[in-house]
Each structure stands twice: as structure tokens, then as C-alpha cells.
Homo-oligomer: A and B are copies of this chain.
């Protein structure tokens, strides 16, 4: 099948391998007449870059998308928006020593089983570099939904045992986008950073958790019974490399809660029907209720580690593998703008879909 297109009427098609000439994508179904702020897309890409320490060290020369179509003077025309992000430092030969080896918890084995192509470059499609294109497409989606008053902020809420506590205002979360760890708590960020340094020395990696808030959402987004808003968010998040868990609102805690604790009582505030709590994370019966949308994604540890691991090669012979080169030790903080981007794609699609619910 075509698994590389996401969305129903605001559709993003992704292409590219990490060691090919370019990554890229095509956005179809984008409304006409939206003026695109390229700077904010660059800023998000910068947050996603390897070794990034926030926009302050922004290296302008890298990961700059080249738009090929769909824009006139940086305004959308309704035509498909195609872009490429050249792979300036593609070095497929760096992986030659691994070419016959199934790396543990990597794509090598499953891609080989599925596509039956005997070339280790096959898995360059499974690289996290593919998410750069998502950030571009999501950056456009963010600007579409901003027109209806919606804003998204994701943030690092846990790296290993270092968990974020407390509540933050949306503006504090926005501020955290400028920080290295993409986390609104400065002290915790420092601890996280030291921990990552320590793991790097150890040659190990660690799992993490990212939370997100979408604010300004109108009531009415989401399409029962299968295209519920949180079902779309779940699929979007689980399509990100290394994502292993999704929940929204009170999430997993709901398993232990009583109805009398969980239910969000309706009340009237300034003439608007609101809920007194937000255990539902802004979504009830699959449809946004006007409260902030809150969700969480858990990412497994990066599978590439520097410690020796036992595995097998394509011939089924046991081998010992040792990682080499420079790898992240944690999906966060780089995955944070990817979470935002995917959320934006979901919301933009549902915003457009909602236009046809009443004539």
C-alpha cells in the first residue's frame, strides 16, 4: 500500500532516504491564500537538528527546505506544495561494516523480511531524518490552524527517571521552545542534560516522554466513530520513529480512577460552557470540546548504543555488534518539534473536514 501519505484532505506525502540525495514531501489539499512565514519553519527545523542547542546556534546553511511548487511569493495557491531538503552529508559507506548485521531493535530485520531487498541501504528510509520533512509540512499546518486561533506546544516531560512536575502556562511552554532541552523547568533541564552526557560516556541510551498542549481549539473537531480526534492523534504520534505509547488527558491514570473523580463537570464561565477539570484532555466522544487538548507520547531508548550487543547476521550467524560514530542518546529533545508537527497535520486536516459538517 501507500503508507507514505498522511491525512484525508490535508495530505502530506513523504519521501527520501537518509543517505540519498534528498528528503522531501508534498502537501496536497492546502487551502489557497495562506501566507507562509518561512522563518518559523526554519526555527522548528533548527529545534530538530542534530547537536542543536536551540535557535541560538542556528546554522543557516543546513536543513533549509527548497520549495518547488505550490507557492507564489510565499503564499499558497491551492496547488500541491513540494519541497526537498538536500542530504548534504550523505555517507552510506559509513554503514558498510554493518551491512550484513541485524542491529537489535532496528529496522534491519523487518525491512529485510518485508521488502526482501538484499542491501543494507534499504533501511535508510527508516531513519529519523525522515521526520525533517514532517517538520516542514507541520510548519505549514501550524500556520493554517493559527488562522483559527490554535497554537501547539510540545515539551520534554521526562528523560529516564527525570520527570517534569507541576503545571506550566502556555506561554512558559512557548518559551521552552528556545531552550536546549525543550523543557520548561530549567533545573530539571540541567539534570537531564548531565544525565544524557553521562549516558553518552557509558555508551548507552534512554527512553523519554513528551507532552503537548493545543490551545485555542474550537469545539467540534473530530469525526466519529473511527476518525475520532484522539484516534488521529494516536496514529500520528505512533508513526514517529521510536514512539511506543500514547495517551491523552489523564491518560493511563484513568485506569485507576472512579467516574466521580474523572468526569469533567460542565460549568458556565463568562457565558461559555466550560469544564471544571480537563481529565478528558479537551476531547469527548472523539470531538474537541473547546478545552486545551493535552496528550503524551513515550519514546523508547534509541536502539543504537556503543556497548557491545549480541545479535545475528543475515546468514543467521551470531555476531557481536558495537556502535560507532555520533548518535543521539535520547529521542528528546529533538523529537519535540516532530510531535508538534504531526499534531498540526492532524488538526489541520480535521479543521478542513469540519467545514463540511453543516452547509
Contacts and interface: CB of A to CB of B under 8 A. Distances in A.
A107 interface: yes
A287 B125 CA distance: 13
A4 to B, nearest CB: 5
Integer count of this chain's copies in the complex? 4
B122 A77 contact: yes
B352 A102 contact: no
Contact of A357 (B115, B130, B289): B115
Interface stretch (A41-49, A184-192, A254-262): A254-262
Nearest to A70: B15
A333 interface: no
A60 interface: no
A48 to B, nearest CB: 16
Interface in A211-233: 219-220, 222-228, 230-233
Interface stretch (A50-58, A165-173, A299-307): A299-307
Given A24-B68, A104-B266, A252-B245, A31 B358 contact: yes
A329 B318 CA distance: 52
B117 A307 contact: no
Contacts of A233: 238
B20 A69 contact: yes
A286 interface: yes
Contacts of A302: 259
B104 A299 contact: no
B265 A220 contact: no
Given A3-B224, A207-B257, A273-B316, 10 more contacts: A2-B11, A15-B26, A21-B66, A84-B84, A105-B262, A109-B219, A160-B256, A244-B247, A244-B254, A356-B356
B303 A263 contact: yes
A204 B248 CA distance: 22
Contacts of A219: 109-110, 113-114
A5 interface: yes
A121 interface: yes
A11 B3 CA distance: 10
A28 B225 CA distance: 11
Nearest to A161: B256
Interface string A307-325: 1011110001010000000
Interface in A63-86: 66, 68-70, 72-73, 75, 77-82, 84
A255 B5 contact: no
B301 A262 contact: yes
B77 A6 contact: no
A355 interface: yes
Q: Which 9 A-B pairs have the closest CB atoms?
A: A3-B223, A107-B285, A245-B247, A3-B227, A205-B259, A110-B287, A2-B28, A235-B235, A15-B82
A182 interface: no
B110 A220 contact: yes
Nearest to A219: B113
Of the listed residues A14, A29, A80, the one surrounded by the most CB atoms of chain B closer than 10 A to its CB is: A80
A102 B116 CA distance: 41
Contacts of A82: 15-16, 24
A271 B251 CA distance: 42
Contact of A115 (B15, B78, B106): B78
A109 B284 contact: yes
